Amino acid sequence: AQMRQLLVVGNWKMNGSRSSVQALLTDLLRADQSFRPQVVVCPTYVHLAQALELCAESSIAVGAQDCSHMQSGAYTGDIAPGMLAEMGCRWVILGHSERRQYHGESDALVAAKLAAAVDVGLSPIVCVGETREQREAGSADAVVSAQLDGALKGQANLHSLVVAYEPVWAIGTGL
């Protein structure tokens, strides 16, 4: 039986500056003894190149917080998964609750992004989780199952898939 690799992913959300990225990664790299868990940092798009450069000779991997479902075209503001792979990203977060909430991302869109990311060799981290209302209504299992079913529908190759369960009601609430 193959043992699961422990994974620690830091989603920096819409935070950071060149100096804070430098400081945080310098501290992380100082502690880097080829971490037992795989450590992945996911800074903003504008800090990806800096993070990739700083982490190049380390065991710390760099990922993106999202990607487009398309590889190119008239999608102003989107980032193609192939662009992320080409610059050296190894991971991408998909279906984060904030993307679902603030950008109306559907399970079908998450599935399309997942397929596009896998096509270029990125390792996807698919996020699932229920709201407090859904949990209190007793529908947490159904919500999370539907999100997973929706994201995985029609996927051909998922050998490197990571599923991150993050109940929306627990994010930043102290619960």
Region for residue 27 given its phi and psi (left: phi exceeds 0; alpha: psi -120 to 50; beta: otherwise) = alpha
Query: What whole-number distance in Å separates Cα of residue 45 and Cα of residue 116?
Result: 18
Q: How far apart are CA 120 and CA 60, in angstroms?
A: 20
Helices 107-119, 140-152: axis angle to 10 degrees equals 40
Q: Which of 98, 103, 136, 166 is flagged as catalytic? A: 166
The 3-state DSSP class for residue 7 equals strand
Q: Please pick, among 47, 69, 96, 130, the residue that the annotation labels catalytic.
A: 96
| 133 flagged as catalytic | no
Query: CB neighbours of 103 closer than 8 A, spacing ≥ 6?
Result: none
Angle between helices 48-55 and 18-31 (to 10 degrees): 30
Let me know if 96 is a catalytic residue.
yes
Q: Which residue has the tokens 């830091």?
A: 10
For residue 23, the SS3 value is helix
* Active site residue ranges: 96, 166
